[in-house]
Amino acid sequence: MIEVKELVKSYGVTGVLRGLNLTAPNGQVLVLLGPNGAGKTTLLRILATLTKSDSGTATIHGMDVAKNGELVRQSIGVVMHSPMLYGDMTVSENLAFFARMFGLPSPDRRIAELLQRVEMDRRADIRVRLLSHGQQKRVALARAMLHSPRTLLLDEPESGLDQRARCILEGIINEFRSADRSVIMTTHQIELGLQVADSVAALERGRVALHEPASAIDIAQLQARFSEPTEALGAL
Residues 189 and 226: their CA atoms lie apart, in Å, by 11
Give per-residue pLDDT as tens, 31-79.
Answer: 999 998 899 999 999 999 999 999 999 999 999 999 999 999 999 999 9
Q: Are 153 and 73 in contact (CB under 8 A)?
A: no
Is 70 exceeded by the pLDDT of residue 231? Answer: no
Is 50 exceeded by the pLDDT of residue 92? Answer: yes
- pLDDT score recorded for residue 222: 78
Is 80 exceeded by the pLDDT of residue 221? Answer: no
Domain contains 17: yes
Is 50 exceeded by the pLDDT of residue 235? Answer: no
Domain contains 26: yes
- Return the DSSP state at 38: S
Domain contains 59: yes
Domain contains 51: yes
Domain boundaries, position 158: 2-85+151-226
Give per-residue pLDDT as tens, 16-31.
Answer: 999 999 999 999 999 9
- pLDDT score recorded for residue 226: 66
Mean pLDDT rounded to a whole number for the chain: 92
Q: Are 213 and 198 in contact (CB under 8 A)?
A: yes
What is the number of structural domains in the chain? 1
Give per-residue pLDDT as tens, 142-163.
Answer: 999 999 999 999 999 999 899 9
Per cent of the chain over pLDDT 70 is: 95
Give per-residue pLDDT as tens, 94-138.
Answer: 999 999 999 998 999 999 999 999 999 999 999 999 999 999 999
**Helix or strand run (H / E) with residue 71:** helix 69-75
Domain contains 163: yes
Domain contains 63: yes
Domain contains 96: no
- pLDDT score recorded for residue 141: 97
Residues 116 and 183: their CA atoms lie apart, in Å, by 21
- pLDDT score recorded for residue 218: 83
- CATH code of the domain in which 20 resides: 3.40.50.300
Domain contains 118: no
